[in-house]
Chain A
Amino acid sequence: MKGAVIRLVLVMGLLAIISRAQMLRVDSGTPVTLAAGALLLCGLFAGKVAKGFGLPRLTGYLLVGVAVGPYALGFIPNAGVKGLELVKGLAVSLIALVAGTELRLGLIRQVGTRVALLCAGVCGLTFVVCFGALFAFKPLLPFMASMTVAQGLAVSALVSTVVVSFSPTVTIAIVQETSARGSFTEFLMALVIIGDLFVMVAFALAAGITKASFGGGLDVAGLLGGVGWELFGSVGVGCVLAVAVLVYMRGVKQELPLFLVGLSFTAAEGGARLHLSPLLVSLAAGALVANLDERSGERIHHAIQQAGLPVFALFFAAAGAGLKLDALVTVGPVALVLVALRGVAIWFSCRKLAPADDPRLRRYLWMGLISQAGVTFGLAALVSRTFPSFGPNVEVLIVAMITAHELVGPVLTRRALSASGEIRADEAAGTA
């Protein structure tokens, strides 16, 4: 670990020199490439340091991103972090592709109903708790204080659907890092993925109702069409991509990691442009490939492990650099109360509703559900764009919550997997 610390300090020292030298220039050039290189190197070595402390590598990536980012030491300017949005989309797609290869038909048949029921229970209870709290906080939140009761209810519902969301990205990255395998891990992964499907549907409905409450009119057909397109369109496009992957794997047989990176980039960018869910597109593609041809699924898994390290290190370090620490100051108290309430709601619902046949689920599952990352960021940004009058304030509140969840979530997820006894290796080569 000593070597990793020395290397991390040296990289940060060079970054400090570069940022100091930049002050001598009247006009600076593009900082995106610098941000990519710096976060990649810092992330990699911070991950090793975190591992030395018994923490997930992912926590190291996030913390070093926060440290060198624009809101702490300021070695990387904000424009550089924003320029890495493409990488974030790519990472989410890659992670979803791997997660899809884990979704075997047999597994879905085996745990699907139980997972869906538990998911509905956890999401429902968490939603109710957060919804109640937000509406109670209405007079304390400046952007909600002047709203009518109907508007307040609608906005509370909208924000609560975002707050409920989990993080498949973090869960899958930690599962990869620890090589965890077993029924508990499968249950946890299925739960976070299905939870996000629930959130997508609920978010679309809540957004439609909120628009109506602000005088936009309730377009039920448009609402259902939008939700249907996002869900079924994503699965359809995912199936097309799966066929492309199978054709490539049988016909070309070369440079598979490069091909998968290109495919994930296409899914991320194209999916976002077509109002589809990039996560669902890649998930469907991965699942179909694994169920049609098990060997191809394994090859994809192996190939992404090869290409995964730089993408994951960059993604999570960039996510850390993008965390607005100043947001914690302005809406911190309300955000922390919501974080605590969400945590208690998830813990309570898991304790009461998780299947009794496996005591590990009742005791440790809640820890794997605390993280929030890519999907929550995306929904918060969508609220900001769709509702310019109050959306940016909602985004600040949610980002403050994500900041807290990002710092404790990965640690808790790893602890859950460790406590369940399903971690197989200290570290899988070339993973997050």
Chain B
Amino acid sequence: MQALLVLLSIAALSLLASSRVLDPGRFPALARLAASGFLFLLLGILLGPSVVGLLTPGNLEGLRPLVALGLGTAGVILGLNLEPRLLRLLPRPVYSAALAHAGSAFLFVALPLVAPLLLAFKLPPQSAVGAAALLGAAASLSSGHFAVLAYRAGRMDRARGLGVALLTMLDDAVGLGVLALALVLSAASHVGEGLGLVCLAVLLGVMCGALLAFLTHSLKDLAELTTVTLGGVALVAGAAAYLRVSALLAGVACGATLALVGGRTAERVSRALGRVERPSFLVLVFLVGCGVHARDWGAWALVPGFVGLRFLGKVLGGKLAQKLAGSALELPPRLGYALIAQGGLALCLVAEYGMLVPGGLSQRVLDVVVVGAVANELLAGQAFRQVLTPTPATARAPRPDVEVAT
């Protein structure tokens, strides 16, 4: 019954978030959280076991298949966006710039936070390094939705908006790479087994992606295409969850394989998946919020360090990225301030880590990243103003109902 109530609450909140009640003019911070889906994260924290307790840990255990499905869907969508043709066209300075801002934030967060994880929480070195790496990975990610909103509203020119969005898309790869590394270090009793599990996830994804490309190849009927797409995504996510390997990495491998061998079919699958992207993201974000232990003071103590160090890393990394990108990519001044928003993939990374690495450490990582992501989302609104040039009088008013994927 609780699960039903919660799903109904999500539905009600969806209607609220898409209505004009949350007017950006009246409640800008709340409207921003609603547009990015982070309002669902807060609702999850509120209704979860550690605050109101409407959902018990048992309920959350029963909802794990939904989390796996959400992670698999997110992975396949990410993988489908990895268009090999487009990636080959990008000049090397673009990759250097992406690596610079993502890498800076990673190093600024991961290196200093190893010390408290090792000393204050008395963890074995391998686990502490894995957890710190994952915190760094989550910190390295950025969301380009502010840039997208700004250029749609006419407050940033298109080339710069797309430049920021491109950089933030590329650092997803850094995050996924570090997740794989963290799972190698922590998801099994020794590194070799961890590596085997990550390889198994990727192999599973490749097999499912190739199969999905074949299954959807000659399907003409839209209902059948949607059914096969949903079945394929559930199969890859479910198989990963069943074998206890990463549904996110398997999904990315599946999507990338489909993009590589699927040709035009990949576009049709992408469109079919696009119809369920937003609802599945919101449910996933809500369930991640439910998993937060709001009374873990150790995690709260780490949050200021995480947010502050990430901010510093992004600002300095942004400067470095601007230098490295040169004329290959048009970027706004003070790029680092445009990269403060963290986005949904960070939540996917910690949710996956929490599912595959049992114990208090992965829970603490999840708590820090989730609270940090909300703080960063609120901070990002103010920080992004530093990036914008003064608005011309003729600029169009922002559209309050714009929704963007993070």
Contacts and interface: CB of A to CB of B under 8 A. Distances in A.
B239 A18 contact: yes
B interface: dominant SS: helix
Chain B CB within 10 Å — which of A29, A266, A309 has the most? A29
Interface residues of A, number: 42
Contacts, number: 124
A186 interface: no
B223 A306 contact: yes
Contacts of A11: 211, 215, 235
Interface in A18-33: 18, 21-22, 25, 27-33
Interface residues of B, number: 40
B176 to A, nearest CB: 20
B21 interface: no
Contacts of A306: 223
Given A14-B207, A22-B243, A310-B231, A32 B65 contact: yes
Nearest to A313: B227
Interface in B28-81: 64-65, 68-69, 72
A269 B11 CA distance: 15
Contact of B228 (A44, A258, A266): A44
Given A7-B214, A310-B226, A429-B223, A37 B244 contact: no
A33 B230 contact: no
A284 B223 CA distance: 27
A22 B228 contact: no
Contacts of A3: 218
Contacts of A109: none
A7 B238 contact: no
B367 to A, nearest CB: 23
A251 B156 CA distance: 36
A14 B234 contact: no
Contacts of A253: none
A116 B242 CA distance: 49
Given A30-B65, A33-B65, A309-B224, A41 B243 contact: no
Of B11, B222, B224, B236, most buried by chain A (CB within 10 Å of CB) is: B224
A273 interface: yes
B211 A33 contact: no
B200 interface: yes
A41 B244 contact: no
A29 B223 contact: no
Nearest to B197: A25
A157 interface: no
A19 to B, nearest CB: 9
Contact of A29 (B8, B214, B244, B279): B244
B243 A33 contact: no
A10 B227 contact: no
A71 B231 CA distance: 22
A28 B243 contact: yes
Given A33-B238, A273-B4, A310-B230, 19 more contacts: A7-B215, A10-B214, A22-B243, A27-B244, A30-B242, A31-B242, A33-B72, A34-B238, A36-B231, A37-B233, A37-B239, A40-B227, A41-B228, A41-B232, A80-B242, A265-B7, A270-B4, A309-B226, A310-B223
The 10 A-B residue pairs whose C-beta atoms are closest, nearest first, are A37-B234, A34-B238, A33-B238, A37-B235, A40-B231, A430-B223, A32-B65, A41-B231, A310-B227, A33-B65
Interface of A: 3, 7, 10-11, 14, 17-18, 21-22, 25, 27-38, 40-41, 44-45, 80, 83, 258, 262, 265-266, 269-270, 273, 305-306, 309-310, 313, 429-430
